[in-house]
Amino acid sequence: MEQKKIFKIAVISILCVSLATNVALLFFGVKMYKELVFARDLKQQNSRILSFANIFIEKILLAESDIDFDIRLELETCVRSLNDSEILSQWQKFTKSDSLNASREAKNLLNLLVKKSIN
């Protein structure tokens, strides 16, 4: 009789420890999953930012002729797809700047893009 009682207590104890371990594993599993999703989203955002920076450099800074409407539309679409208000705001400063300030605003935009992509 005493042996059965000890056996029941041992089984209940093992089940409680097992349950606690499973809850802890579930908690850490969910936490790791959220971190992986965050890292994936960050990588995708950084990729989009660098893609925009590349297009900006190739089609604006290295351009040997005037920028036509199609290029401007492509860049505008690309910058809006980033869904980043700070980058959009700097882009608008660049597009609205006169020829005297365009160089400074382009530098500011590139600086912002680099900072955002290395976060």
Low-confidence ranges of the chain (pLDDT < 50): none
pLDDT for the residue numbered 65? 86
Q: How many residues does the chain have?
A: 119
pLDDT for the residue numbered 6? 87
Q: What is the pTM of this model?
A: 0.76
Count of domains in the chain?
A: 1
Domain that holds residue 14: 2-117
pLDDT digits (tens, 9 = 90+) for 77-92: 999 999 999 999 999 9
pLDDT for the residue numbered 52? 94
pLDDT for the residue numbered 107? 94
Cβ partners under 8 Å of residue 46, min gap 6:
116, 117, 119
Kind and range of the H or E element at 21? helix 2-56
